[in-house]
Homo-oligomer: A and B are copies of this chain.
């Protein structure tokens, strides 16, 4: 029987590549998405499509009240930056940073993993393009893993060791696109835009759209 892994799945490109990666690594994948009041809520439909296409055992959407805290352009009434250069994107912490988001996501994944008796969590964080996000850095992931091993039943009983897999951590966007292509990720089902039109079409000019386009261009692969 395949060991279970909880895979965070946003509906975007990176987490779709992670899910395909986890399947190839031999995990039975439990995909976890969050409805947290994000303005690009349409990504949850993409997540459901991706989970089905990539053969997840289950797909759960957990509702969490992250928007109650505010403080981010992704959940509050603040404008999403548009048309920024690569240099601008890599300077400082962007307003699209959601306070403690990855910590809350991973904590929920840890809860589900404990119930599933899984020791493996998979997250699509990336330290290159998202260098401005504190919770996308390798030292953060290592600290979460250490904490997780003290937080849970399994850790106390010494039965198993929780591992946080971040297979994209050190890849460029072009490398992520190439890995996704090699793993057969259906790119056309994924959604990246922070500020989509009501019908779901990407804006084309937010950081997420710009990074995505650049990644496909550099990889020499068509985004479909």
Contact = CB atoms under 8 A, between A and B. Distances in A.
Interface of A: 60, 62-66, 68-71, 93, 97-104, 107-108, 110-112, 114-115, 134-135, 137, 139-140, 143-144, 146-148, 150-153, 155-157
A204 to B, nearest CB: 28
Nearest to A6: B69
B93 A153 contact: yes
A155 B143 CA distance: 13
B107 A134 contact: no
Given A63-B63, A104-B108, A107-B100, A150 B140 contact: yes
Given A146-B146, A147-B103, A147-B144, A111 B153 contact: no
A64 B34 CA distance: 10
A26 B71 CA distance: 25
Contacts of A110: 99-100, 103
What secondary structure prevails in chain A residues at the interface with B? helix
B69 A111 contact: yes
Contacts of A115: 69-71, 99
Please give me the 10 A-B residue pairs with the lowest Cβ-Cβ distance, nearest first.
A71-B115, A100-B111, A99-B114, A143-B147, A134-B156, A140-B150, A107-B107, A62-B65, A100-B110, A104-B107
Given A97-B153, A153-B134, A155-B134, A148 B103 contact: yes
A151 B100 contact: yes
Contacts of A93: 153, 156-157
A49 to B, nearest CB: 21
Given A100-B110, A102-B151, 17 more contacts: A63-B65, A64-B64, A64-B65, A64-B108, A71-B114, A93-B153, A99-B111, A103-B107, A103-B111, A103-B151, A104-B108, A134-B155, A134-B156, A137-B150, A144-B151, A146-B146, A146-B147
